[in-house]
Chain A
Amino acid sequence: MAYDKFTTLTSTAVPMPIENVDTDQIIPARFLKATKREGFGDNLFRDWRYNGDDTPKADFVLNNPIYKGKILVGGKNFGSGSSREHAAWAVYDYGFRCVVSSFFADIFKNNCLNIGVLPVQISPEFANEIFEAIYADANTELEINLEAQTITLLSSGTQESFVINNYKKGNMLNGFDDIDYLQNMKREIETFTESRPF
């Protein structure tokens, strides 16, 4: 499924300085029963966001109206555990286009890149500075420039560059995905298949 192009993003951000946020928290398994990609945003962080009777938990950050925006700033090792792409879908469908963390779990990061959510890895020090800035002023904005591969905390001007390979960067800038690329390799793949021993 191709997605909207990503070039630059300037937005306030939602702070979630919890480490090892696993994909079972991002979306619990019991909400994986759909056969179409719809409605996952409603269940993003379901059990942290809602009580058992579906009333919102007031102390959870997504239920605090002062924190909003298209950027989620998470703690270290964000997205560990299950490979469920539903976690990335939930993040996207809720309205985030970018997740910032000092460290990402592998599969989650890859899933994000495949669906148009930009994972931006920064230093732990910069992550702390961002958390402090948001807690001091929830209107603090971050600017992400994919072409330049930079993330800037606008209130202080602190900037870091982030890593993304040139191929994935091109995909995100243009809204292409891997299937668009692989479709053009069909001949090569068929030849390769003939060489496989099993």
Chain B
Amino acid sequence: MSKSLFDKVWDSHVVRSIEDGPDVLYIDRHLIHEVTSPVAFVGLESRGLSVLYPERTFAVADHNTPTINQHLPVQDPLSANQLKTLEDNANKYGISHWGLGHQNNGIVHVVGPENGITLPGATIVCGDSHTSTHGAFGAIAFGIGTSEVEMVLTTQCIMQPKPKKMRISVNGVLNKAVTPKDVGLYIIAQLTTSGATGYFVEYAGDVFENMTMEGRMTVCNLSIEMGARGGMIAPDAKTFEYIKGRPKTPKGVDWDTAMAYWNTLKTDDDAVFDKEFTFNADDIEPMITYGTNPGMGMGISNNIPSADAVEGGKATYDKSLAYMGYAENEQMIGKKIDYVFIGSCTNGRIEDFRAFASIVKGRQKANNVTAWLVPGSHIVEEKIKEEGLLAIFEDAGFVLREPGCSACLAMNDDKVPAGKYAVSTSNRNFEGRQGPGSRTLLASPLVAAAAAVTGLVTDPREFL
């Protein structure tokens, strides 16, 4: 029987299938961080259990870490306690731990691929919904709750019904200044924030085939924002090139064995999906969001839609625009902004900083803008320096911070004040996401850069 890429990977990880119940799914790689893991360790200890395969779990501190002065003690006692708890738990059970200050530290979804933890055909979970990022490598990767973190620690398995299958194809060639982020935001705007709930997505077509691994990660990262459990892209030469030789990828004979398997990871020609969508690359322009969920996005040159033009209830739509301080039919271009954030597991990789630099080079940060440039990892930070991007940023009046999740969810001190507008390359524009009362406009690194130098929502095509 014909199988999709998703079927092939999922089915090969089913330890047991329960009738009228979930599958017991084996997990190859488990990533943990300081926020969603502590209660899992409390849970397993209260049951008198231990960690079954510590070598399959990787601990990384990221959600709650400061992005300045990482060499000094963490000031917030609650954050410091969570970081210490992660370290203690990792040490106690023999789990690899890349804490604050470690050369491999960074956002868990950035460091996983960088270090070869992320592999095609693997199952990867983490107590974080943006685990979908790793699907870029042809892995099944998705976010789980803390109860499931405990399950993986103690049994290396979780129990989940197999999701339905969706394929999203985007064909053609992307226009100028249209980035993978724009492709993601475009798809979410088409499907809505719940349009893929219950599905696992495979991305297919020219646009994804031609996309870099960084770009694929951005797209897969955003899968959860349309409700999908995860999204994946079939591995190809580009994928293998990216992972080869990284610290934790298989080597020698193991690499050859793995390659033989990885080469089978393609959707069969006659495989059937529960739902299919096809879009044209040419219809996508640089995107920006105007509301309080990632589905409320549009081409940057458009006007904010009226309530009757969008799916969903008018009351919810009005509440959202009121929170943003916007009105129906207004144009977004020219709106004043206060903050710019480039970083996060969505757009915190080297390619994103190159894009940002391409616009700010030779220009100056607008005086009214506070900008946070937060690399996704120390490895990204080093590349920014090596490639001369840091000098470009500094000449333009920007400061580079240290890696972490930062203002994407504002658990640390990187909070956008109430009422202020932030153009963010992150993934969520929910009410208060970047700080109580903050207002978020999601966009690509190019749109963020254009806003950073003008202080206004600006079409990046003006600069390229």
Contact = CB atoms under 8 A, between A and B. Distances in A.
A198 B144 contact: no
A182 B155 contact: yes
A56 to B, nearest CB: 15
A84 interface: yes
Contacts of A37: 39, 42
A93 B53 CA distance: 32
A52 B312 contact: no
B227 interface: yes
B417 to A, nearest CB: 11
Interface string B121-150: 010000111010000000000011111101
Interface stretch (A57-65, A105-113, A142-150): A105-113
Contact of A185 (B16, B82, B257): B16
B156 A198 contact: no
A104 B155 CA distance: 28
Interface stretch (A4-12, A24-32, A132-140): A24-32
Interface stretch (B21-29, B344-352, B353-361): B21-29
Contacts of B147: 1, 85, 111, 114-115, 177-179
Interface string A30-55: 10111111000000000100001000
Given A197-B261, A198-B254, A80 B21 contact: no
Interface string A152-187: 000000000000011110000000011101110110
A27 B160 CA distance: 24
Interface string A62-103: 000000000000011100111111101000000000000001
A80 to B, nearest CB: 6
Interface residues of A, number: 58
B432 A28 contact: yes
A82 B20 contact: no
Interface residues of B, number: 81
Contact of B418 (A32, A52, A168): A52
B78 interface: yes
A80 B143 CA distance: 12
Contacts of B122: 198
B198 interface: yes
A165 B163 CA distance: 14
Contacts of A181: 159
A110 B161 CA distance: 10
Contacts of A107: 129, 143-145, 224, 229
Interface string B20-54: 11101010100000011011001100110100110
B158 interface: yes
Contacts of B366: none
A77 B227 CA distance: 9
Given A36-B42, A105-B194, A106-B198, A178 B158 contact: yes
B431 A25 contact: yes
Interface in B356-378: none
7 contacts: A20-B194, A22-B430, A35-B81, A77-B194, A81-B224, A83-B145, A106-B229
Given A105-B197, A197-B250, 18 more contacts: A19-B313, A22-B293, A25-B431, A30-B436, A35-B38, A47-B431, A47-B432, A81-B224, A82-B143, A82-B428, A83-B143, A104-B197, A115-B147, A168-B21, A179-B49, A179-B154, A182-B151, A193-B53
- What are the 7 A-B residue pairs with the smallest beta carbon separation, nearest first? A167-B21, A85-B145, A83-B143, A35-B38, A111-B145, A33-B78, A166-B20
